[in-house]
Amino acid sequence: MSDKCISGKKCFESEELAEEALIQNHIRNNYRGGEGPVNVYQCDNCGYWHFTSKGDKSEKLRDPEVLEFIERERRAFDWERKLR
C-alpha cells in the first residue's frame, strides 16, 4: 500500500478495508451534523480507495447494526481514554 496519490488522501487497497477504516474513523471522532467522511470511493488517479465527505452516506453508515456498533465502540473508546 502506498500514499502516493496526488489527492494527498490516505489510500486503502479495497472497498472493504476503506469501509472498515471509515467505521473506525467514526468511532474515534464524534462527528456531528454531517461532518466527517461519509463514504468511500475508488480513485481515478491511483486506483486505491479513499474517504469522501461529499455525497450520500455509505450503506454501512446507514445500517442500524453498524451504527449501534459505532455507538458501543465509541463509549468503550471514551472510557479507555479517561483511564489513561
Binding site for Zn ion (CB under 5 A): 5, 7, 43, 45-46
* Cβ burial 26-41 (10 Å sphere, 16+ → b, else e): bbeeeeeeeeebbbbe
Q: What is the nearest approach in angstroms of Zn ion to the Cβ of residue 46?
A: 3
Nearer to Zn ion, 41 or 77 (CB): 41
Nearer to Zn ion, 5 or 66 (CB): 5
Nearer to Zn ion, 9 or 74 (CB): 9
Q: What is the nearest approach in angstroms of Zn ion to the Cβ of residue 70?
A: 26
- What is the signed CA dihedral for 8, 4, 70, 53, rounded to 10 degrees? 30
Dihedral sign, Cα of residue 70, residue 15, residue 3, residue 32: negative
